Structure 1
Amino acid sequence: MILSAGENGTIKSGEGIYVVNTEATVEARENYDYHFVNWTNAKGEIISSSNPYTFIVKSETAIQANFAPSIYQVNVFAATYNGTILPKKNEYAYGTEVEVEAVADSGYHLAKWANAQGDSLSDDNPYRFVVKGPMTVQAYFAGNSHSVRLSAGENGTIKSGGGICPYGSETTIEAAADTGYHFAKWTNAKGDSVSANNPYRFVVKEDTELWAHFTIGGYQVSVIAENGRIKSGGGMYAYNTEAEIEVVADPGYHFVKWTDGKGGNLSVDNPYRFVVKSDTTVQAHFAAGKYLVILSASNNGKLKSGTGGAMYMFDDEITVEAVADSGYRLAKWTDANGDSLSADNPYTFVVKSDMQVWARFAVGRYRVSLFAQNGRIKSGEGEYAYNTEAEAGAVADDDSCRFVKWVNAAGDSLSAANPYRFAVKEDVEMTAIFEKEGKGDTGNGTFPVGEARAYYAEDVLHLAGLEGFVVSVNTIDGRQILQFKADDAEHPAALPAGIYILNAASGKERYITKLVIRK
């Protein structure tokens, strides 16, 4: 473990020799007037902002501690010449909470605080923020009176409201519909829906232009959106017509669901379509949009992008890729509860909530063990990498035997092909079954099973040399009729006339034969 410190700091502890897969903790110490920022790898990639930082050692590792100045220049000034800023100080230590206040000239008020690019920061006064680096904060002032201009579309008029209003005052506007029509909604200068209320009350904070819209008689659909805005829909609808409403979330939020006027759930679709039967109130609900996603890897592998947690916006798409250690492979991705998410690698998913994603690894090679009854294995036994193809082949002991099928360790039929090709995904044990010509069709008499013997007579299966074996009897199409452990020499078995396959297994010792029962 090789540690280094950038300028303005030193390594406190952690450098040395570590055994692979053991835990290491490293710590850095900053110089006076500086603070620790992060650790980076040899490529300059950020791996952690924790100090101390604890991780699992997988290979020879070189990391560097980075530091930054603790005193920053903060420029706060009035962007327009209609007020002043308090206090005048412009240097602050890293992490300091700063409070600035704008004092407007007579006839003006603070409109907003903005950064150097003019992007809005807040309209609070005083405004508090934490210093993380050099920054610029500008105060914008506006006049204390604003114009409210009202217009009416066809089939109605403006009844009251509008004109010059003081900043921050509440004003009420009202429209009147012509005979045979009713008020539908107010829209702004861009055509965006503002409200379906009439009269409509709002607080004046800027010059405002509103249009009143009217429609022929019907039912009122009122749409409410807090932390978002109405994109389309709402207003009056004829009975039994389809309404479509859609909302857009404010920055930092995402749409969750629609509810009715009583809070009952309606839908999670956006846009949302429904048939209008009466006056209807529909409310859009939104939630904060940032979630914590933690990426982790179990033993025997790592993540290509590194592990750790980060904040993501709702609906962000994330792609992660796992790299298995030598002799291992990615088995699957799971959540924090161990439930499977995917076996894809790379794995792409969409952020919907706080979540933890684990890469799980498994042994990459599996054993194929082959046996033969009345024959011998020709090829196919050995170790295979996961998901590679194996070909199992077997030959008879002599010309009096013919190949019947391959069965697994439980005696279940696998294939009648010889050779038999299959993909290796786990340890495999198979037996090739050969049958002697003319043997097995012995009616109710005895039949050979290697060194053991068995015969069926008068609804009883008689066994010899099979004590402790698990015995199963299957129909020729693989349906199991009996399964039991042979503790006694006789076992009641009322078998109908037909052809059966008898399997007897104990450990790696296995006997299989065909039994023909005639009544």
Structure 2
Amino acid sequence: VVDLEAIADQSYQFVEWTGDNGTIADTTANATTITMNGSYTIRAEFDITTYTLDISSTAVGNVIEPGEGSFEYDDGTMVNLEAVADEGYHFVEWTGDNGTIGDLTANETTVEMLNDYTITAEFEINTYSLTVDSTAGGNVIEPGEGTFEYDDGTMVNLEAAADEGYHFVEWTGDNGTIGDVTANETTVEMLNDYTITAEFEINTYTLDISSTEGGSVVAPGEGSFEYEHGTTVDLEAVADTGYHFVEWTGDNGTIGDVTANETTVEIFEDYTITAEIEEMAAEYYQLTVEVEGNGTVDIDPDQNEYEEGTEVTLTAIPDADWNFGEWTGDHKGEDAEINVTMDEDKNITAVFEEEPTDEYELTIAIEGNGTTEPGEGTHTYENGTAVTVEATPADGWQFSEWTGDVPEGQENETEITITMDMDKVVTANFEEEDTTLFDVGITNYDEEVVKGENVTIEYTVHNPTDKVVTEDIILIIDGERVVVQEDVTLEPGQEVTLEYQWEAEDAGEFTISTDDEDDPDPVTVTVEEEDDGMDMMLIGGIVAVIVIILALIGYMMMKGGEGSETEMEEETEEMEELETDEEEETDEEELDEEDETMEEGSDEEEMEEETEEEEMVDEDIEEEL
């Protein structure tokens, strides 16, 4: 028995053993056996491998190459694929056994046949974007405004609603499939991406205006006028002489005041209105003429009452050394003779002015720190002279304004011009500048000190600007502005730490803050009264020394001449030394009181020294005795 095995090349397959195959165990198996009962000739038969390609598609499209169904291909064959979508649909991808398809998302591609495959062409309906907006004066309520997605062929309802006072005009943009472009309610068929706009326009209305006999409408006139919705139109009716305006009639519901000849009408619809004018009975009016200053007025004709429309001539006649100035009241003007038409009661005043003198005084005053040119004081000028006055602020001050007899419109100018036609007084007002640029913050300080000691205040100064700045540093101590460091110069962004010693002269609590009204972190320093205990100790020591000296003197007097002159001198020297020691101790104590930072240990040492000295004196006295 001989083993047989046939191996196919790539893309081929074993078929069968042919020839003298009678004793072959399995002629269709590539690996089998043959029983050798004689001489045999056998042949291994091979065929190329073939595979089945099953192709289908979803609805709304089909595969046109190679078609749809089952197809046989030799191993390794590159098969062209092409899928075509129906109208309104699009190809999506090839699904199934798609591992050897060139591009799954391309409707035209290839598949390499390396096995049996089943593939499907997938289609989907097209979707399109509908972008809807509107102009001013309304909006789209169906489907709304914005961007919406619809399947191909969808009929979308459109509805546009106009605001009050507006009306819909048409749909513009991609309006080719809109049912009725001029209807605010219609449809659009989605066959592509569309952008459409609902166009609105403001309503316009007609205003018809007329008047009755005896006058006319001068604003806006008489006739027909077109206005947009909501427009406020000025109305003015003028009556002829002998007539008067009565009221506006017709569509007068939106007229501001129907009885006023000058009023307004707000346009919301078509309106027809009429200015009603009537003839009036004769009216009589009074003319009151007054005089201010020295002069008279000639009235022609001079009557108690005047019929409406009467023209009266007034002539102003000044007294000696006086001039006519002007008319005030119900007539304004500077002509000495005027004509007044009596259409109402009138009150007119003739103003007379005294003739000007040759010279006038200009008094200049100053409020704040600054100077003027001419300087502060009283100056005399001829009538009509134009005097230029200039204000210059002092350092740290700025000009604020002029007050007094200042020409209108020049109050805030540093340089003004005054025409001398009367005595005048002006004041230049200056105010302190607030130009602090540095940021100052207190970082450390002595919270409690004794009166007379120095309070150490540590603070930081920061230049927040983008330039070199030089400024004085100011702290607010107990409500007073104190310059703690002059002319500090910092580079842009630079910050330094500085220290200031403030002498606490009074007891109490004191607030210290930066030169900033809004300083959020003011600090408080407590200053206590001086401790009198050391003074009492010094007084006690001095009293003790005096007692000892007096005792020595008494002792010496009792001893009389018993002691030698030398002993007397030695005792005197000892007394002087004691007095000197006491004086030195007193001086040292006074220095210690001025030194506010002295330690309590120093006081104790001095007390011990005083005690030792007192003990030495006691020993000397005992020796003498």
> Fold match, TM over 0.5?
no
* Bigger relative CO (Cα 8 Å, ≥ 6 apart): 1
TM-score (structure 2 length as normaliser): 0.23
Structure with bigger strand share is: 1
TM-score w.r.t. length of structure 1: 0.27
Q: Which has the larger radius of gyration?
A: 2
More helix by share: 2
